[in-house]
Structure formats: structure tokens, C-alpha cells
């Protein structure tokens, strides 16, 4: 698989170029809106509205479709055994010949994570910045998808995809290479913010391109779609540079201790600050956790992460050094069960044994829903004698998403005619809609969309269009199942009500009942209850002519009905009943 340089009109996109070496992009001519009220721009939402994660939006005009992002989300407590949740791309698969490209705003899992699964159905080129494409390339290789066209762009570049012209705008976020999108369509400009914040002192020195956004706004923007994640937080998001000052303080206060820092692997700027401090305080660095190692290697490969020679050692070799000479950088900021930090805290990670001379820093905020897991990890670390520093004690993490005042700045610069809030649960979208109205957008020009909605736009109007097939698919190991998954429903049923196995023996010649056993799993039943259940089944089968039963399926149904009501009466549960008929 080769990553091609892009940033020029489509006629040049197929030109071969060395992997990940960017050439100076030429700015393409912006397409002027076509005044054609017979055709409308259709904005289709496949994910990322009414939820945090699984971001995916499609723009459709005439015969052309482009896709913005292709993310995933993680399963909730009501999805037992499910590994990942990805968008349902049934509609896109049915129209794959019309897809001109997939443009990616940045390399977080909720924006790229579904690509290894959906690219088996969609044949379309992918466009993104260096780090974004490097992370995508690694994912596709693991899935043995080696023929996907990856096209590398730089912020400021413009590409032509069918009737769409897409300009990539540099924004600040918690991962390098994040961009917003200015998309010129035949009815007007659509501006998609991507995930962003306004950082005046970014670690890499590259500020969000507010001047270019202002220029785009002055020329006229038909539709704004903007990140709503931090709409409930007033003011502005702290700069990433603030974290370095806190971490420096931690290093200085723990000169004789071993330091373990857990952070998001994708936050390359955070990793760079941590590595710089390790050099300053003369510590060797060991990465722990597969995603941490993979992303660090990928970022170093393309120059986004600068690692001095001799700084990195294998985590197994840390025992050969004194505690004050070691820094371990780990995954596990959300208490994920199989992450490195969680295994350290539970004593199941033999490469690193936590003790009284350890200071553990959790450099991340707790994602809603993960509180129980991460606080369980913190409690275990304290039990092992470690000192733990986390968000409620020190400013050791800053968000990558804009707060209300920054969102007001974006709205003021873009000055959109229409607005659709994205990237948030319904309450976030509603509050963002209220903010947009407060800064001048008419209430009638704002729509809160849901997954499966189509919003239709002309140069003068915006309205809800038809519904289309959309929703979620569940990734379970190597399999993918739909939202109406019988497997998932069975798992939920088993987890809530348990299982009863009814083993019935029938003599072949006489069709006479010879034995019956009932085995319960996940269900509280006394011996007396089991005996009563056996009696219920026995009574039913001995008072009927088993020779008249047409097949095993019919007999299974009779057995279930004979025991179901009794079990519900005594347990107030409705377990899954599995009859097993043995003819002897």
C-alpha cells in the first residue's frame, strides 16, 4: 500500500509519489456555486449525532458522494461480548460507484476506526494528513487491505472530488494533523470544523488557521457543521502547553522515584512533552501497551515525534535500572480491562510491579461512563503503595475540544446561513443550537439531525429530507453483525435471565419418556424448584402420544411451554430454555 501525495486537482491524483513525502501543494481554484434549484445537496448522517463517537457524514449531489470520517465507538454495558460498534454503511455500499473519496479530519479512533471494516465494502480513495494516513495504513495492513488508495494532503491544500472541492484547514486538537474542511459544492460552501480547539500556544507552534477561516466566512458559507463536545463548558480550553508545566513539577518532586505516566497514545504532542522531560531529567523511557508502541513508532517514522537515540528501552529491561532512571509511558487512562495500567494495578503485569517508590500520573480526563473502571484502577494503585496523580488533583490533562467561547469565535468567523451541530449527544447538539441562535443564526435555519436523517440544501433553503438505512453494526471478534443482532439479543437474554437446559430421554421403539434432567445456569433455583420443573415436563410428556409429534422442533416447543410458566412463577425470570432430546 502506498500513500500518495495529494492537494491538487483530481487529474493529478493518480500520479505516483514516494510514500509519505509531501510536495508543495498548489492551491486549486475554488468552484463557484451553481444556481440550480432543481438539484439539492444532501447531507446524510451515518454517525456522530446523538452520540459521542462513530463519526461519519456523507455529502451527496447528483451522481457524486463524498464521505467525511469513518469512526467507531466502544460498546456499552448493554452490549455483552461486543468489541466495537461501527456505522451501518448499507446505503453507501449500495451506491459505492458514486463515492468519489473519503476525507478524514484526524486520526482518532472515533474518526478512522471503522475503515478496516467498511473498506471491504467501499472502494474509494482516502485523503488525510501524514499522521492520520500513517495510522490508517497500519490499521488496513492488519486487516490485509493493501490495495486502498491513500492520498496525503497538507493543510491549505485543495482537492477536487467530483463536483466537490475540498480545502483542508489547519486546526488544533489533541492529535497532530487535525484539519477542518471547507467544501465547495454546487449550491454553496459547507464548513466542517472537525474536532478542534483554539490554542494560542500549541506545542508544535502551528496555530489554528483563523485568518483563512475568516476569509472563507467573508466569501459566504452556506452551512456550518461544528464540534459540540464541550458546549456545556464555559470559557476556553486550556493550552496543551499548560500540561508540560505540571508534568515538569511532577518530575522535579519525584527525583528518587520511578514515574509511570498513562496518557492517550494518540496525543503525540503530549508524548513529545513527556519525552522532552525524560531527557531533561535523565530518565530512560519504556513504552507499555500495544497502541502506545504502534503510534509512537508511526509518529517517529514520519517525524511528528522526535525521539533521541538511546532514549527508549524495552519495558522488560527497566528492572536493570534504578527507579530514578526510569519513566514508563503506558496506555490505560480509562481503566480498560486489558490495558497496561489496569494490569499493573491488579498485579497481573509481571514486567512492571507497582510499589511504594512509584508515582503514577494519569494524564487524561475520565470519559463519562468509565468512572467506575478508572477509579477502580486508582484504588488498586493506592493499595499497592503508589502515589497517584490524576485530573481532580492536578491540571495534568487538557481537552482537545472547544468550549463555548471558542465556539462563539468560530460562528462569528464563519457566519453561516445554516447550521447543524455535530459530534455530541442530543443535549450537546441542543445547547450548541441555542448558542448558534444567540450569536445571530435564525432558529429556522438550524436543524438537529439524528442518525439516518438526510438534510437537503439549496443555495436558499434547508429542510429535512428522507430517512435512509443507517444505524450500528457490532464487531465481535472477526465477525460483524447488524443492529438487529440475534446474537446480541441472546447474550442480553442470558445475562439478565440465565439459562435452563432440559435434557429429555425418549425410548426409540416405544416413544416412552425414560429420563429427564434440568440444569440451570445464571438462575437461582432450589432443588425443590428443579424437582417441580421436572414434574411439570414429565406430566406434559406422559399424557401425550409422542409418536404423533412430527419433528424435534415441535417437541422442543412442547418442552419449553411445559416449563416456562412454572419457572416464571417461582423465579420472576424468563430464562432461555434449551431442550435437548436424546433418543435411546
**Residue-range domain boundaries for the chain:** 3-235+400-474, 241-389, 486-583
Of 70-84, 100-114, 138-152, 306-320, the one with minimum mean pLDDT is 70-84
CA torsion sign, 195 to 200 to 206 to 209?
Answer: positive
**Given a cut of 60, is residue 406 above it in pLDDT?**
yes
Of 35-44, 411-420, 564-573, the one with minimum mean pLDDT is 35-44
Q: What is the pTM of this model?
A: 0.78
pLDDT for the residue numbered 388: 94
Distance of CA 183 to the CA centre of its chain: 24
pLDDT for the residue numbered 205: 80
Indicate the pLDDT class of residue 520, thresholds 50, 70 and 90: confident
- Rounded CA gap, 130 and 20, in Å? 7
Q: Which CATH number fits domain 486-583: 3.40.190.10, 3.30.70.3270, 2.60.120.620, 3.10.20.580?
A: 3.10.20.580
Q: Average pLDDT, stretch 543-566?
A: 83
CB-CB contact of 332 with 291 (8 Å): no
**Given a cut of 60, is residue 27 above it in pLDDT?**
no
∠ at Cα 49 (45, 53), nearest 5°?
105
- Rounded CA gap, 259 and 406, in Å? 35
Could you tell me the CA-to-CA distances from 24 to 153, 212, 299 in Å, in that order?
A: 10, 18, 21
**Given a cut of 80, is residue 99 above it in pLDDT?**
yes
Indicate the pLDDT class of residue 553, thresholds 50, 70 and 90: confident
Higher pLDDT, 60 or 8: 60
- Rounded CA gap, 455 and 190, in Å? 13
* Fold topology of 241-389: Rossmann fold (3.40.50)
CATH homologous superfamily, domain 3-235+400-474: Ribonuclease Z/Hydroxyacylglutathione hydrolase-like (3.60.15.10)
Q: Average pLDDT, stretch 276-300?
A: 92
- Rounded CA gap, 466 and 480, in Å? 27
**Given a cut of 60, is residue 365 above it in pLDDT?**
yes
- Rounded CA gap, 293 and 505, in Å? 56
- Rounded CA gap, 358 and 260, in Å? 7
Burial of 227 (0-12, 13-18, 19+ CB in 10 A): buried
pLDDT for the residue numbered 390: 85
431 three-state secondary structure: helix
**Given a cut of 80, is residue 7 above it in pLDDT?**
no
Nearest to 540 by CA among 521, 516, 520, 519: 516
Of 34-38, 485-489, 534-538, 572-576, the one with minimum mean pLDDT is 34-38
**Given a cut of 70, is residue 369 above it in pLDDT?**
no
**Given a cut of 80, is residue 20 above it in pLDDT?**
no
Of 174-178, 179-183, 359-363, 556-560, the one with minimum mean pLDDT is 556-560
Q: Average pLDDT, stretch 58-74?
A: 95
Could you tell me the CA-to-CA distances from 582 to 216, 350, 535 in Å, in that order?
A: 74, 48, 18
Q: What is the residue-averaged pLDDT of the chain?
A: 87
Amino acid at each position: 500500500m502506498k500513500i500518495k501525495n495529494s492537494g491538487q486537482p483530481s487529474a493529478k491524483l493518480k500520479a505516483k509519489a514516494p510514500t509519505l513525502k509531501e510536495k508543495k501543494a498548489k492551491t486549486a481554484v475554488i468552484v463557484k456555486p451553481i444556481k440550480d434549484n432543481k438539484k439539492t445537496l444532501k447531507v446524510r448522517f451515518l454517525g456522530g449525532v446523538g452520540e459521542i463517537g462513530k463519526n461519519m457524514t456523507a455529502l451527496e449531489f447528483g451522481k457524486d458522494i463524498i464521505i467525511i470520517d469513518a469512526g467507531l465507538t466502544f460498546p456499552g454495558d448493554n452490549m455483552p461480548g461486543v468489541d466495537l460498534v461501527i456505522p451501518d454503511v448499507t446505503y453507501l455500499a449500495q451506491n459505492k460507484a458514486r463515492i468519489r473519496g473519503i476525507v478524514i479530519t484526524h486520526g482518532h479512533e472515533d474518526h478512522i476506526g471503522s475503515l478496516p471494516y467498511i473498506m471491504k465494502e467501499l472502494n474509494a480513495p482516502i485523503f488525510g494528513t501524514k499522521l492520520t494516513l500513517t495510522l490508517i495504513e497500519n490499521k488496513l495492513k492488519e486487516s490485509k487491505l493493501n490495495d486502498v488508495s491513500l492520498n496525503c494532503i497538507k493543510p491549505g491544500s485543495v482537492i477536487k472530488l467530483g463536483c466537490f472541492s475540498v480545502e483542508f484547514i489547519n486546526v488544533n486538537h489533541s492529535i497532530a494533523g487535525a484539519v477542518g474542511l471547507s467544501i465547495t459544492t454546487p449550491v454553496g460552501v459547507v464548513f466542517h470544523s472537525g474536532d478542534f480547539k483554539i490554542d494560542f500556544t500549541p506545542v508544535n507552534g502551528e496555530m489554528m488557521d483563523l485568518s483563512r477561516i475568516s476569509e472563507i466566512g467573508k466569501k459566504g458559507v452556506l452551512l456550518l457543521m461544528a464540534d459540540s463536545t464541550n458546549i456545556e463548558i464555559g470559557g476556553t480550553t486550556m493550552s496543551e502547553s499548560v500540561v508540560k508545566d505540571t508534568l515538569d513539577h511532577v518530575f522535579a518532586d519525584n527525583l528518587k522515584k520511578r514515574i509511570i505516566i498513562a496518557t492517550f497514545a494518540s496525543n503525540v504532542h503530549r508524548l513529545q512533552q513527556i519525552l522532552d522531560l525524560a531527557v531533561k531529567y535523565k530518565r530512560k523511557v519504556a513504552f507499555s501497551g500495544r497502541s502506545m508502541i504502534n503510534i509512537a513508532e508511526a509518529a517517529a517514522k514520519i517525524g511528528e515525534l522526535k525521539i533521541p537515540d538511546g532514549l527508549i528501552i524495552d519495558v522488560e529491561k527497566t528492572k536493570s535500572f534504578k527507579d530514578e532512571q526510569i519513566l514508563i509511558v503506558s496506555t490505560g487512562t480509562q481503566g480498560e480491562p486489558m490495558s497496561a495500567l489496569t494490569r499493573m494495578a491488579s498485579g497481573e503485569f509481571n514486567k512492571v510491579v507497582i510499589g511504594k517508590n512509584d508515582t503514577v500520573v494519569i494524564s487524561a480526563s475520565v470519559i463519562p461512563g468509565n468512572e467506575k473502571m478508572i477509579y477502580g484502577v486508582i484504588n488498586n494503585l493506592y493499595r499497592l503503595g503508589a502515589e497517584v496523580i490524576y485530573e481532580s488533583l492536578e491540571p495534568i490533562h487538557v481537552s482537545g475540544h472547544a468550549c463555548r467561547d471558542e465556539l462563539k469565535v468560530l460562528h462569528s468567523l464563519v457566519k453561516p446561513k445554516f447550521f447543524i451541530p455535530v459530534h455530541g449527544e442530543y443535549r450537546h447538539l441542543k445547547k450548541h443550537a441555542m448558542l448558534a441562535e444567540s450569536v445571530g443564526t435564525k432558529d429556522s435555519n438550524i436543524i438537529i439531525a439524528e442518525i439516518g436523517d438526510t438534510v437537503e440544501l439549496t443555495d436558499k433553503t434547508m429542510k429535512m429530507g428522507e430517512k435512509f438505512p443507517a444505524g450500528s453494526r457490532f464487531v465481535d471478534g472477526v465477525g460483524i453483525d447488524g443492529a438487529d443482532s440475534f446474537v446480541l439479543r441472546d447474550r442480553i437474554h442470558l445475562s439478565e435471565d440465565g439459562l435452563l437446559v432440559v435434557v429429555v430421554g425418549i425410548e426409540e421403539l416405544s416413544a416412552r419418556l425414560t429420563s429427564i434432567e434440568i440444569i440451570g445456569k445464571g438462575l437461582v433455583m432450589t432443588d425443590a424448584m428443579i424437582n417441580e420443573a421436572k414434574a411439570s415436563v414429565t406430566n406434559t410428556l406422559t399424557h401425550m402420544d409422542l409418536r404423533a409429534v412430527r419433528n424435534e422442533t415441535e417437541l422442543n416447543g412442547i418442552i419449553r411451554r411445559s416449563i416456562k410458566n412454572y419457572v416464571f412463577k417461582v423465579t420472576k425470570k424468563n430464562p432461555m430454555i434449551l431442550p435437548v432430546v436424546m433418543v435411546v
